[in-house]
Structure 1
Amino acid sequence: MRALPRLLAALIVALPLATIAAVANAAEDPITVLTSDFEDGTAQGWAGRAAETVAHSTAQAHSGTGSLLVSGRTAAWQGPSLDVLDVFEKGTAYTISVWVRMADGSDNARLSVERRTGGTAAYDQVVGNTAVTSGSWVNLTGRYTLATDVEFLRVYVETASTTGSFHIDDVAVSYVPALPIQTGIPSVKDVITEFPVGAAITGAEIVTEHGQLLSKHFDSVTPGNALKWDATEPTENTFTYAQADPLMAYAKSKGLAVRGHTLVWHNQTPSWVFTGADGQPMTATAEDKALLLDRLENHIRNVAGHYGTDIGVWDVVNEVIDESRPDGLRRSSWYTVAGLDYIRTAFRVAREVAPHAKLYINDYNTNVPAKRDFLFGLVQQLKAEGVPIDGVGHQVHININWPTIAETKAMFDKFVPLGIDQQVTEMDVSIYTGDSESFPAPPADRLLKQAYVYRDMFALFRQYPGEITSVTLWGLADDNTWLDTFPVTRKDAPLLFDTRLQAKSAYWGVVDPSKITGSTASPSASSSSPPPGTGTCVVTYRVTGSWPGGFQGDVKITNTGSTALSSWRLGWSFTGGQQISQLWGGAHTQSGAAVTVTNAAWNGTLAAGGSTTVGFLAGWTGGNPAPTAFTLNGTACTVL
């Protein structure tokens, strides 16, 4: 995925949020489980993490007359902490809010959690570096889910660099009761059968309702951070799989395939990897190159070897293209020390260790022509050299306005001649179109537009059966998305399910576009119900996108009769020579101009007043006139 700070340990999810309103569904008020207002003259259970002094103070107060002052600190990590072992329940998403103010000067404050299992400590960041001064109070608000059994659990506040004294006040911890997942809706994996559909996960996605949602809808998972270098080899030749092993065990128990992400990346790689034997940063010397490639080989042999055949796909190298460079190659420490040999070595060793696995090169913004073309040229060169690259991963981090379907189609088409697999590896659709935007809650029009983007993108993906071999969403639901903190801190809503794990219009865009909430036609059309018509059916035909030589369309069918249909057969004729190349939502045949579509297994029952939609991709020459007549089970329909 794109560059971002280290988010979390795999067994915990901790996401900063723009506002409390974005966390909780307004339909249900949060339940507060802990408060500290320091109005009784005591520390209210808070203690220091070392020898610092933690005491009640009246020098500053966010509200009332008192706060908690932390002084005598000798290290930045020292600060006030509170035992929450008996407060937090595994699988519950808590919102933690703390107000912070420096006594003097300024620094960046962080909100974190320390947990211990079997005597081993782990530290999870809830809110990252946030500027704090002595001039005003600053709120740190984040979301935290405990996803494993622990014997020690404390919330604490620390600073990034200085050891200055600071105050905290008005601490609150709350949660919104979980809603049950919707079991009566189609599973994504049952509707999308052309390729597996997966989700990136942390430990929070394998417990309680999150785990139920994951196993209901998805075929595969990607450990989002748990297999990266900083998580698996934090110090040289000391390997740990504490973050990834629980995710792998869950996947195996549920029959989910696993995409391994990632063996080589310029981010989330410990600094020791690029430190030479002399203790200095590596440079492009023969000695440093040999040491770096040895470390790379050792890492891959251990990590890929640890999981063996349990991982069938690996993102071997991640984000190596920089289209601003004349040669298109990112000037990472990997490249400046080892040139392309780090890529060659990574794929060679991965093939030796995991001969069963498909090996991918993965990047973002591959729809941008310059980046796409540089990646194509690199893969073409490496394959000509015999480097065992099996496929290209397109991250597809996009937004509601960008890119176009035509640009995305050109991205896939570019790589088809190479004869390699292609996968969508990290898809999400941001509701924002610029860094200056921020909404306290996702606007309805943005969510509607997002639904149509998902509809059109998945329709495009399904145009490449056998070429696109997997599509993975970068997250399970809107309560846990990296876009809440990148590129700026604000609540985003980029996935198929909302913060309460309920299906959004985006979900229906993938599963059944006729049920997209808010419109029966297009994002610019107003919501309305079709008129009864003169027969027992009403049809709406529309072109949803076009490009030279081709177009995308859909047909909405409404049963306006008084009885339900147990199956259906839709017919029409093209008058401009159009030929359908792919159709979803049913099965089609075409003889000359005549098209016949029969229902899919999941949408054959059409209740009285009920609707369903089929979508298609087609080629055309010259004009592209819309059909003027449709039949449903042999009966003429009203055409809108």
Structure 2
Amino acid sequence: MRASPSRPLSRALRAVLAAAAAATATLLPAAPAAAADPVTVAAHTFEDGTAQGWGARGGETVAAVTGEAHGGTGALAATGRTATWQGPVLDVTDLFETGTEYTVSLWARLAEGSAGDTVRLSLERRVDGVTSYSTLGSATATADGWVELTGSHLPAVPADHLGLYVETATVTDGLLIDDVSVTTVPETPIQTDIPSLHEVFPDFATGVAVGPSDLYGERARLLDKHFTSLTPGNALKWDATEPTEGAFRFTDADPVVEYAAAHGMALRGHTLVWHQQTPAWVFLDAEGAPMTPTEENKELLLSRLEAHIRAVAGRYGDAIGVWDVVNEVIDENQADGMRRSRWYEITGLDYIRTAFRVAHEVAPDAELFINDYNTNVPAKRDALAALVSRLRAEGVPIDGVGHQMHINVEWPSVAETEEMLTTFAALGVDQQITEMDVSVYTSAGESFPTPPADRLLAQARQYRAMFDLFTRYGDAISSVTLWGLGDDGTWLDGTRDDAPLLFDDDLQAKSAYWAVVDPAWDGTGTGAPAARCTVTHETVGEWPGSYLAHVTIGNPTDAPVGDWSLTWRPGPGEEVTQVWNGSLSASGGSVTVTAAAWNGTIPPGGSVTFGLITSRTDDGVNHPTYFTLNGSACTTA
């Protein structure tokens, strides 16, 4: 079964976009919104002589004191500590809202007589009965002066308990804290008057990798506006779903699956088998020792694999329409092309055969993929193609090949990528771009304090070239997934800022986004282009099975627009049946209204309005959000 886009194909819209590449008009105003200032949600100075909600974690004493403050006269002291984990704790379960990031800052020092130690600001988190601990910030403290501890936490799923606490690394000396501040930065609103990716690219599903924290606030609004497919980035991997044998956990995966179902989005399951993020117990023999390549160990490992897939893929059934069954199995430097993972060392190719067989048994309607990176590299491409051909000839139910496409501003070339697509198209398998991002760096040794403008422009050109290629191969590619919503959530960031996605740290559209969506982008623009047209789609009457709307086209420029032609795609279940003050035509999933004899020119600063009647199969009105006027996209009001 092909994992088709949730919206119908539109050859007419594709033609409009292609023709517009030669147009001189550019599109869309939509300046990025400014980031907001932090808001304080809690502050504790202990000036009133009370603990202000803080308590003890164990048998120690936690109480307000005077005369030893960081600021003012009051502070909070923990005395009588007998364990390093004991210290002041604050229950923030009801304070911290899911999907909102909080920054905690406080000052700490050790009691008189202490030689010093590392002091940590930590968080205790209990979800579904499982308790975990994390360090938000740490510093070296003494009895001679105060040090600041600071860190952030973003609750991704509802917690049974969240507790902030202060502890030490090795000593049990008394400690003090003061001037506690908990702040959050209001989210920057996303841009709503820009084209939606899924409407610009109707020939394939537009996807994105997400986690539970992406399902709230402005991040969720960005999801809803631009994407039709979700991939739980880490939530379905083995270490997340079965950290210990037979003990399954779906705390992070279930919210993504439920969100997709509620919002009519497709789902890609990633991934059932991988050589990374697999718990160590999987590769231990019956006596608990590391497995060696024996028949007994092969049988045990394959039985564990089957049990895992039956539990994970079987849990979701038809809810997940595509699975990355096996991930990154190719090593082109090996004579046989196979990665020498623990899976391969113990089972040979049988782990791949077993994984696809069992996945097909428990999810018979799902499309099953083999997924890998650098599939554009000729040696790796050919090794993967040979493996897919061999296994399919054996009857292994491989439906598609996933190309991760973690690339950079200079590599790969369009020609190399096109050869990748044609190689697998010849095998008769579906193809999906599964983890796309474009780093601004071209080598491991590069690092910039801030990504330079020329690299961001090169990134935009690379994105444009690749999406143009994907559009040309829309019949061979059923989905394109970006590996993250915005630059603030990329897996690449470590010691440098890769800035690899279409939206920046505040989820605002980058030049790469404009290069992708603007048919008239000329390879030089670094931000939102000037508005060339505006469209308002206003409902003025409704009745069962139909509604009446007025569409107004505005011309904000200082030049007239002649012989206007407006193209868009009606919402699902809708069909434009009648138009006045214009002429109606339709092709594929698109409709076009052209000017009447008496309103063929839109004057500078002026507008024209036409009316239409739309039939519908569902209640409500699906207002279109992507219109092109004479080949250039418009702002929607």
With structure 1 as the length reference, what TM-score do the two structures score? 0.68
The whole-number CA distance in structure 1 between the counterparts of 2:188 and 2:448 is 24
Match of 2:125 among 102, 115, 123: 115
Query: Counterpart amino acid of 2:471?
Result: R
- 2:626 alignment counterpart: none
- 1:511 alignment counterpart: 517
Structural mapping, 1:133-144, within 5 Å: 143-144=152-153
Query: Counterpart amino acid of 1:33?
Result: V
Query: Counterpart amino acid of 1:115?
Result: R
Q: Is the 8 A contact 1:71 1:164 kept in 2?
A: no
CA deviations 1:217-251 (Å, max 9, x no partner) are 11110111111112222221122322212211111
Query: Counterpart amino acid of 1:371?
Result: K
Call closer, same or farther: CA 1:607–1:286 in 2, change over 3 Å.
Answer: farther
Call closer, same or farther: CA 1:444–1:421 in 2, change over 3 Å.
Answer: same
Q: Is the 8 A contact 1:452 1:509 kept in 2?
A: yes
Q: Is the 8 A contact 1:39 1:67 kept in 2?
A: no
Query: Counterpart amino acid of 1:505?
Result: S
CA deviations 1:106-147 (Å, max 9, x no partner) are 99x987643345x624537576xx997789999886653334
1:490 is displaced (CA, Å) by 3.8
The whole-number CA distance in structure 1 between the counterparts of 2:240 and 2:167 is 22
* Matching of residue 500 in structure 1 with residue 506 in structure 2: yes
With structure 2 as the length reference, what TM-score do the two structures score? 0.69
- 1:391 alignment counterpart: 400
Q: Is the 8 A contact 1:73 1:163 kept in 2?
A: no
The whole-number CA distance in structure 2 between the counterparts of 1:559 and 1:600 is 26
Call closer, same or farther: CA 1:259–1:49 in 2, change over 3 Å.
Answer: farther
- 2:541 alignment counterpart: none
The whole-number CA distance in structure 2 between the counterparts of 1:339 and 1:53 is 60
* Matching of residue 277 in structure 1 with residue 275 in structure 2: no
- 2:564 alignment counterpart: 566
Q: Is the 8 A contact 2:33 2:508 kept in 1?
A: no
Note the aligned Cα RMSD (angstroms): 4.4
Describe the SS at the equivalent of 2:225: helix
Q: Is the 8 A contact 2:439 2:498 kept in 1?
A: yes
Structure 2: 5+ residue stretches without partners: 1-31, 531-555, 568-588, 596-600, 606-628, 631-637
CA deviations 1:198-235 (Å, max 9, x no partner) are 11111112122222221121111011111111222222
* Matching of residue 344 in structure 1 with residue 353 in structure 2: yes
Q: Is the 8 A contact 1:115 1:153 kept in 2?
A: yes
Q: Is the 8 A contact 1:38 1:68 kept in 2?
A: no
1:442 is displaced (CA, Å) by 4.3
- 2:539 alignment counterpart: none
Q: Is the 8 A contact 1:479 1:498 kept in 2?
A: yes
Call closer, same or farther: CA 1:296–1:469 in 2, change over 3 Å.
Answer: same
Match of 1:356 among 365, 375, 381: 365
Q: Is the 8 A contact 1:396 1:427 kept in 2?
A: yes
Structural mapping, 1:595-610, within 5 Å: none
Match of 2:377 among 340, 347, 368: 368
The whole-number CA distance in structure 2 between the counterparts of 1:302 and 1:330 is 26
Q: Is the 8 A contact 1:104 1:133 kept in 2?
A: no
Query: Counterpart amino acid of 2:206?
Result: V
Q: Please say which of residues 450-459 and 346-355 is displaced more in the overlay.
A: 450-459
Structure 1: 5+ residue stretches without partners: 1-23, 530-557, 570-598, 611-631, 634-640
Call closer, same or farther: CA 1:158–1:214 in 2, change over 3 Å.
Answer: farther
- 2:571 alignment counterpart: none
The whole-number CA distance in structure 2 between the counterparts of 1:434 and 1:41 is 57
Q: Which has the higher contact order (CA 8 A, sep 6+)?
A: 2
The whole-number CA distance in structure 2 between the counterparts of 1:366 and 1:291 is 32
1:40 is displaced (CA, Å) by 11
CA deviations 1:316-365 (Å, max 9, x no partner) are 01112233434332222222222221111111111111111111111122
The whole-number CA distance in structure 1 between the counterparts of 2:329 and 2:462 is 28
Q: Is the 8 A contact 2:99 2:154 kept in 1?
A: yes
1:474 is displaced (CA, Å) by 1.0
The whole-number CA distance in structure 1 between the counterparts of 2:170 and 2:196 is 52
Q: Is the 8 A contact 1:195 1:470 kept in 2?
A: yes
Describe the SS at the equivalent of 2:402: strand
1:42 is displaced (CA, Å) by 9.6
* Matching of residue 292 in structure 1 with residue 301 in structure 2: yes
| Identity across the alignment (%) | 57
1:258 is displaced (CA, Å) by 0.5
The whole-number CA distance in structure 2 between the counterparts of 1:474 and 1:318 is 15
The whole-number CA distance in structure 2 between the counterparts of 1:351 and 1:122 is 35
1:255 is displaced (CA, Å) by 0.6
Describe the SS at the equivalent of 1:428: strand
The whole-number CA distance in structure 1 between the counterparts of 2:358 and 2:159 is 37
Larger radius of gyration: 2
Call closer, same or farther: CA 1:441–1:292 in 2, change over 3 Å.
Answer: same
Query: Counterpart amino acid of 1:506?
Result: A
Q: Please say which of residues 349-358 and 242-251 is displaced more in the overlay.
A: 242-251
Q: Is the 8 A contact 2:306 2:355 kept in 1?
A: yes
